[in-house]
């Protein structure tokens, strides 16, 4: 329900994106376009913190240890499972034409069209094209509805002549208020990612360590699951590394006023 509430609140974000892109295409001929974009970005900066509030509200409804032990195992994919928790496809042996899937990711926030759209729209995704998270992001897009994936590809395609990327507009405009509004939106997204790390620590890293202490009677503070291995997310990625990478990439997209 938490991701669903976030996606629903994000509908207004897409409306603002559309309005900004329309004005971005006319900044050379419309003197008031920059002012409108600044206003839209300010609105955007006020909505993203609401997503953060929705994410934090999960703490009031779901017990972390219960989630880790009883809910999370059902969200894991074949790429992130432990040997004793493999998916079983009952009856598959009755059809010789069927094969067990070799790649099946579990659910992940990276599969959200909304969050990925914010990254692409604000230019965060292009701040560091060599970021190791890039391949993970592309894999997660395969779990989106086809039209959502096409939208993201269109939004991030530098060859689309009908669109001028927001980050390019901010650079060219040399407008202090616009720059401040853009940076405010990026900071809001970075703070959302900070909150994501808080939730992951509370619901996955913390319970994993507590469970490891019970099972092995020893504390493990390496950020892993208690056996020295990096703790994996439900989609199979190195959890701490992925989240820190997303957060640092977002923070790095802030533009210098000089």
- Give the tens place of pLDDT for each residue, 179-236: 999 999 999 999 999 999 999 899 988 898 888 888 777 544 444 554 455 555 554 4
**What pLDDT was estimated at residue 75?**
83
Tokens of 192: 């959302």
CA distances from 251 to 95, 129, 210, 244, 248 (A): 51, 15, 31, 10, 5
Report the alpha-carbon distance of residue 214 to residue 56 in Å, rounded. 28
- Give the tens place of pLDDT for each residue, 70-114: 988 888 877 655 555 667 788 989 999 998 777 778 888 888 899
Q: For residue 92, give every residue at least 6 positions away whose Cβ sits within 8 Å of its Cβ, in sequence order, or none.
A: 98, 100
| Residue reference for tokens 């004005």 | 23
pLDDT at 123 over 80: yes
Average of per-residue pLDDT across 112-121: 92
162 band by pLDDT with thresholds 50, 70 and 90? low
**Angle of CA points 80, 120, 77, to nearest 5°:** 10
Mean pLDDT across the chain, nearest whole number?
84
Q: Using N-to-C axis directions, what is the helix angle for 176-200 and 33-56, rounded to 10°?
A: 10
**What pLDDT was estimated at residue 11?**
94
CATH of domain 2-252: 1.20.58.480
Q: Are 74 and 234 in contact (CB under 8 A)?
A: no
């Amino acid at each position: 329900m938490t991701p669903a509430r976030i996606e629903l609140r994000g509908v207004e974000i897409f409306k603002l994106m559309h309005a900004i892109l329309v004005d971005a295409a006319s900044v050379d001929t419309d003197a008031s376009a920059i002012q409108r974009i600044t206003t839209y970005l300010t609105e955007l900066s006020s909505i993203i913190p609401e997503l953060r509030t929705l994410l934090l509200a999960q703490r009031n409804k779901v017990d972390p240890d219960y989630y880790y032990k009883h809910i999370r195992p059902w969200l894991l994919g074949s790429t992130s499972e432990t040997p004793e928790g493999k998916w079983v496809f009952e009856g598959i042996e009755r059809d010789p034409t069927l094969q067990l899937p070799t790649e099946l990711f579990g659910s992940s926030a990276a599969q959200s069209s909304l969050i990925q759209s914010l990254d692409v729209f604000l230019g965060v995704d292009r701040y560091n094209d060599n970021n190791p998270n890039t391949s993970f992001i592309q894999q997660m897009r395969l779990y989106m509805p086809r039209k959502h994936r096409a939208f993201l590809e269109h939004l991030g395609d530098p060859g689309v002549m009908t669109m001028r990327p927001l980050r390019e507009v901010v650079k060219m405009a040399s407008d202090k208020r616009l720059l401040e509004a853009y940076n405010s939106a990026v900071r809001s997204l970075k703070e959302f990612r900070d909150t994501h790390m808080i939730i992951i620590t509370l619901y996955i890293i913390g319970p994993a360590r507590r469970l490891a202490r019970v099972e092995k009677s020893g504390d493990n503070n390496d950020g892993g699951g208690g056996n020295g291995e990096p703790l994996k997310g439900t989609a199979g990625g190195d959890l701490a590394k992925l989240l820190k990478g997303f957060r640092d990439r977002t923070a790095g997209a802030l533009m210098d006023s000089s």
